[in-house]
Amino acid sequence: MADCLFCKIINGEVPSTKVFENELVYAFRDIEPQAPEHIVIVPKKHIASTNDITAENSGYVAAIFEAAAQIAKQLGIDGDGYRIVNNCGKLGGQTVGHLHFHLMGGRSFGWPAG
C-alpha cells in the first residue's frame, strides 16, 4: 500500500531498527517505546486491522506469534514474561492502519489495560 507507514518500513523506504524478519513477518523497535523492550511486529502483507483477518490471511497472525516467541527469547524477556497488545480502530487506540502487535517487556504491566 503506497501510503502506509508500515509498508514503507517493510520495504525500507522508511528506516527502522529491525529485530526479526522472515518470509511473512517484519519486526522493529517502536520509535516511542512504552517499556524497556518495545517491538512492533507486522505482517509483510498489508492487512489494515484485526477486522480484516480472514481464513485466507490468518497464517500471518500465526507467523507473528511464532516470531513473538522467538523475539522474546532473543531479547531475554521470555523468562520474566511480557505483554502482547493489538489496538484495533479508533476506540482501541490504533494509529497506524497496518495490522501490528506490540511486544513489550522489561517491566510489569497493570490489568485491566488503560
Q: Grid coordinates in use for 112?
A: 485491566
Site string for ligand AMP, 1-30 (x = CB under 6 A): ----x--------x-x-----------x-x
Residue pair 27/10 in contact (Cβ under 8 Å)? The answer is no
Chosen residue from 36, 81, 89, 93 binding ligand AMP by CB under 6 A:
93
Of 26-85, binders to ligand AMP (CB under 6 A) are 28, 30-32, 40
**100 carries an active-site annotation:** yes
Strand (E) or helix (H) holding 70: helix 59-75
For residues 45 and 57, is the Cβ–Cβ distance under 8 A?
yes
Give me the active site residues, please: 100
